[in-house]
């Protein structure tokens, strides 16, 4: 287990989710006996207003040559990153010939938008299968973890990078100290760092506690981001809410006193104070709601089973690992989970061992209820799966659909 010197100080633990496997540790039957588990506990660092895991498994256990999540598995996300690239140009964060680096570039979905432009770009991606795939698509990606030690070798980029981006990545990085020192080293004087992540405020309001799993070591808010970056001489200069991944926030960071701070920042800070997103009290309210949500979900599923209803899942998400293990839901309750990812199909869910099956068989499978684990993609999925509802099938989830 890793501990970061900046964020690990004075964490007040407040809730345990019990024994948890790796969220993306989809496995074969032959691997059941050797499965890795850790104790998943969350806490709050009051100095930084930071919601985080108390401890996280080693990064290389999670991000390696078998990483099974592909950004391009959602058309909505492909479009989101296309719009993001346009937004960057419109807001002058990217101009002709600028140097751009993406941290955690996955399969290259975002950087693909800069092919055949004057932007000099590359990604840094620790999962080998992803960086290989990206390079195969002629989207350059270096295969290592973004940290100070590793980026010291990027001589051509030091002090010359105009923009660094990351999406759904920074909340996965254990050592924020090393990450931010790396960003500081690469950016030029006016350089900007933009990242978007699932937002703590959205997780609180939706009680989407499935955002908490091994990979998500932090659940950020504007308060925590501002406090962390201020330590390193950076300002939080803008925040823009996003609908992606069940409610995210885009944070814009620049060197202190080099940029105008937008009114959005003060607005969101006030909103967070009012809704106790910046304090320990918010954690305790959230814990109560998680316990209620677990109780109601188990009651609902037990009721369905007592009526002999057939339940299947939709989307073998990382998030579903938290729900299934925390609520004790397994293959006695859910027959199988449908997914489009070929790296997941034929395997079983971590810890609870529910079979993952090919999405192409979804329509022909006999079922009464579908648990939408990929609830964050519901608009895209409901558009695709109109037939199921039309035939009398019912969707459900632990969050409001």
Restricting to residues 380-399, name those near ligand DWN by CB under 6 A.
380-381
Asked whether position 377 contacts ligand DWN by CB under 6 A, the answer is: yes
Does 69 bind ligand DWN (CB under 6 A)? Our answer is yes
Q: Which stretch, 116-124, 248-256, 336-344, 386-394, contacts ligand DWN (CB under 6 A)? A: 336-344
User: Which one of the spans 231-239, 263-271, 285-293, 338-346 is the region binding ligand DWN (CB under 6 A)?
Assistant: 338-346
Among 55, 107, 215, 235, binds ligand DWN (CB under 6 A): 215
Q: Are 42 and 51 in contact (CB under 8 A)?
A: yes
Shortest reach from residue 62's CB to ligand DWN, in Å: 8
Tokens of 255: 């060197």
378: three-class secondary structure by DSSP: helix
Query: Binding of ligand DWN at residue 109 (CB under 6 A)?
Result: no
C-beta closer to ligand DWN: residue 265 or 327: 327
Of 264 and 340, CB closest to ligand DWN: 340
- Closest CB to ligand DWN among 317 and 349? 317
- Token readout for 265 is 């920042």
What's the CA gap between 377 and 198, in Å, rounded?
14
Q: Which residues contact 290 (CB under 8 A, 6 or more apart)?
A: 15, 207, 209
How large is the angle between the packed helices 222-231 and 263-274, nearest 10 degrees? 120
Which of 74, 85, 112, 325 touches ligand DWN by CB under 6 A? 74
219 lines the binding site for ligand DWN (CB under 6 A): no
Residue 333 per-residue DSSP state: T
Q: Is 22 in the site for ligand DWN (CB under 6 A)?
A: no
Angle at 21 between CA 335 and CA 355, to 5 degrees: 20
Instruction: Name the one range near ligand DWN by CB under 6 A: 43-51, 304-312, 324-332, 371-379.
Output: 371-379
Burial of 379 (0-12, 13-18, 19+ CB in 10 A): exposed
User: From the CB of 2, what's the least distance to ligand DWN, in Å?
Assistant: 16
Shortest approach of ligand DWN to residue 105 CB, angstroms? 13
DSSP string, 77-131: HHHHHHHHHHHHHHTTSS-TT-EEEEES-TTSTTGGGGTTSS-EEEEE-S-HHHH
C-beta separation of 313 from 337 below 8 A: yes
Name which of 161 and 224 has its Cβ closer to ligand DWN: 224
Contacting positions for ligand DWN (CB under 6 A): 69, 73-74, 168, 215, 245, 315-319, 339-341, 344, 359, 374, 376-377, 380-381
């Amino acid at each position: 287990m890793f501990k970061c010197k900046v964020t690990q100080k004075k964490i007040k633990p407040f809730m345990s989710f019990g024994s948890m496997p790796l969220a993306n540790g989809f496995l074969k039957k032959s691997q059941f006996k050797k499965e890795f588990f850790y104790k998943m506990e969350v806490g709050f660092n009051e100095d930084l207003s930071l919601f985080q895991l108390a401890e996280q498994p080693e990064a290389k256990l999670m991000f390696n040559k078998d990483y099974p999540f592909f950004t391009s598995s959602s058309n909505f996300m492909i479009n989101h990153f296309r719009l993001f690239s346009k937004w960057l140009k419109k807001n002058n964060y990217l101009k002709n010939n600028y140097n751009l680096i993406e941290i955690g570039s996955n399969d290259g979905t975002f950087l693909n938008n800069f092919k055949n432009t004057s932007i000099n770009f590359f990604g840094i991606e620790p999962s080998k299968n992803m960086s290989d795939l990206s390079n195969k698509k002629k989207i350059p990606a270096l295969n290592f973890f973004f940290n100070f030690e590793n980026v010291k070798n990027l001589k051509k980029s030091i002090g010359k990078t105009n923009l660094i981006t990351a999406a759904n990545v920074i909340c996965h990085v254990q050592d924020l100290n090393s990450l931010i020192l790396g960003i500081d080293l690469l950016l030029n004087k006016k350089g900007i760092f933009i990242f978007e992540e699932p937002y703590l405020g959205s997780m609180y309001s939706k009680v989407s506690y499935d955002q908490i799993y091994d990979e998500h070591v932090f659940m950020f808010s504007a308060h925590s981001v501002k406090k962390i970056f201020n330590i390193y001489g950076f300002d939080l200069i803008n925040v823009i809410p996003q609908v992606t991944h069940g409610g995210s926030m885009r944070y814009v960071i620049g060197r202190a006193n080099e940029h105008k701070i937008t009114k959005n920042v003060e607005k969101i800070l006030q909103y967070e104070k009012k809704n106790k997103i910046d304090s320990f009290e918010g954690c305790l309210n959230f814990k109560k709601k998680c316990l209620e949500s677990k109780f109601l979900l188990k009651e609902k599923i037990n009721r369905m089973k007592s009526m002999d209803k057939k339940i299947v899942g939709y989307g073998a998400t990382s998030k579903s690992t938290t729900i299934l293990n925390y609520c004790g839901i397994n293959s006695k309750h859910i027959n199988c989970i449908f997914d489009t990812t070929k790296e997941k199909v034929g395997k079983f869910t971590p810890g609870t061992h529910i079979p993952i099956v090919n999405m192409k068989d979804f329509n022909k499978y006999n079922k009464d209820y579908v648990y939408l684990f990929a609830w964050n993609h519901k608009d895209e999925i409901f558009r695709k799966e109109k037939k199921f509802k039309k035939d009398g099938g019912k969707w459900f989830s632990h969050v409001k659909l």
